[in-house]
A = this chain, B = another copy of it.
Amino acid sequence: MQETGKTKRAFEMLSELLERACALQTALTLFEWDNETLAPREASALTARTQGVLSAEYQKIMIGEEMRNCLKACDGEDLSEKEQAIVREAKKERDELCAIPPEEYRAYQELISRSTRIWTEAKKKQDFDLFAPTLKKVIDCQKKFASYRAKEGQKLYDVMLDDYEKGFDMEKLDEFFLLLKRELVPFLHEIQKSGIEIDDHFLSGNYPEDKQREAAVLLAGYVGFDFSRGVLAVSEHPFTTNLHNRDVRITTNFKERVDSSLFSVIHESGHAIYEMGIADDLTQTLVGQGASMGMHESQSRFFENILGRRESFWVPVYEKLQEIFPEELGEIALAQFVKAVNKVSAGLIRTEADELTYGLHVLVRYELEKELIEQDLPVEKIPTLWADKYEEYLGIRPQNVSEGVLQDIHWAQGSFGYFPSYALGSAFGAQILSAMEKEMDIDRLLADGRISEIREYLRKHIHRYGKRKPARTLLKEMTGEDFNPEYYVSYLKGKYGKIYGLQS
């Protein structure tokens, strides 16, 4: 009994430390949001100083003596499952921070700040050589840091992958991406050879910004973004962030192609609905966020693609969209609209990819990352390899590096192992869909305007748990089986085979 009391007391002390750490993180989140959406141009250098000080305060708490002692004393088994999850996340975060010597970490942060600046310039100038030496340094640093954290015999790229998606190492991902390559590349070629051209000209053109904003509010609200607990703003690149489960924020921006902003806002709403659905007793703790990158992406893509690109989704809402854009969509029938937003069109830019080809963009990056980290591929070789792979998998070749290897900021930011989560998210979604279909008629619910029942189902099985359980466990408990990428492939081939009249 005494031992129990001791562990409980240690956990209370831990909670106090973590409350301080989380408050600092929340402040940092607000600064990031503000920088992306509002802060004036000249503010960044001085605000970065403030952010640096707050970030150092956070690290001081996490790597401090007190935290170490608390975590040590929290090893007892008499903690609840939720408490154990908090201890687990705290240990993970602490281990990551402790693994890297502070002076190396500071130097790295400076490198990353320089690297993103140089990437921006190189992308503008379409000049990979400008970026290559810095990219090399970033990769070397990332490898060194991974080596500090690698367990006995663990491969470096596996260390990186583990940060984003626990339990998905190269062995697992090779299997996954090989399946995509084997099944989807020939399938895409069939579509390309089918000669069928879907008309989507009406999605481009004169869609005024204020009307796009109106449509964004309509669609976010329709899928279940709760404006009393959330904010919609504009930023250069759309993203979702949150201070806690009652303050979840999404951004969008407005493009020439209206489907770009419509589906982007549904996508970010999917992320937001996840965060809004996290249980009240978890928010503002270390387990009060989504389970993993991939699981988050599964929810955003579920809303964007699996629900959002179905005809039944639009039944209750398409007329309202037509009212917002009477000239542009007034004459376009629902079926025609839905067909257009499902047009397959292999392109060069990942963020503009359609649902079918998206995974192939990620495949290219996965293969290159593996070579860069595990086989010391010289960075100078990336552009050609990149172009070759795009040609092989998607049938098109970038004309310059800005629409090739320089399109994504991730590597400049030192994010290696992140990309696979995007594709995993889609695959999780397909597996989730298959499980749901056994219990409910998705099309019926959507057409009846009962999307809230689908949302509630996801909340019950995924959202409310936050990080209490690993993503792979959540998936297993919800669908009754471990991750299985076959669902993804058969979902895609079924859906697009039908649209393009192919035998499946």
Contacts and interface: CB of A to CB of B under 8 A. Distances in A.
Interface of A: 19-20, 22-24, 26-27, 30-31, 34, 38-43, 45-47, 49-50, 53-54, 57, 226-231, 233, 243-247, 283-284
Nearest to A227: B40
Contacts of A284: 46, 49-50
B39 A27 contact: no
Given A20-B57, A27-B27, A46 B231 contact: no
Nearest to A49: B284
A287 to B, nearest CB: 16
Interface centre among A31, A47, A53 (most CB of B within 10 A): A53
A46 B227 CA distance: 16
B43 A229 contact: yes
Contacts of A20: 53, 57
A52 to B, nearest CB: 8
Given A27-B54, A53-B19, A57-B57, A47 B244 contact: yes
A247 B57 contact: no
Contacts of A50: 22-23, 26-27, 243-244, 284
Given A243-B43, A243-B47, A244-B43, A53 B23 contact: yes
A102 to B, nearest CB: 16
A244 B57 CA distance: 20
A281 B231 CA distance: 36
Give this chain's copy count.
Answer: 2
Contact of A42 (B22, B49, B229): B229
A243 B27 CA distance: 13
Interface centre among A19, A31, A43 (most CB of B within 10 A): A43
Given A50-B284, A247-B46, A283-B46, A30 B34 contact: yes
Contact of A246 (B27, B42, B230): B42
A86 B40 CA distance: 27
Interface centre among A31, A46, A50, A233 (most CB of B within 10 A): A50
Contacts of A23: 49-50, 53-54, 57
A253 B27 CA distance: 27
A42 B30 CA distance: 17
Contact of A228 (B34, B40, B46, B231): B40
A457 B46 CA distance: 26
Contacts of A46: 243-247, 283-284
Given A27-B54, A40-B228, 7 more contacts: A24-B57, A42-B226, A42-B229, A43-B243, A46-B244, A47-B247, A50-B243
A41 B229 CA distance: 6
Contacts of A53: 19-20, 23
Pairs of residues from A and B, 7 with the lowest C-beta to C-beta distance, nearest first: A23-B53, A43-B247, A27-B27, A46-B244, A42-B246, A42-B229, A23-B50
Nearest to A229: B42
Contacts of A231: 38-40
Given A23-B50, A54-B23, A284-B46, A40 B229 contact: yes
A220 to B, nearest CB: 13
Nearest to A38: B231
A49 B20 CA distance: 10
A247 B47 CA distance: 8
A228 B34 CA distance: 15
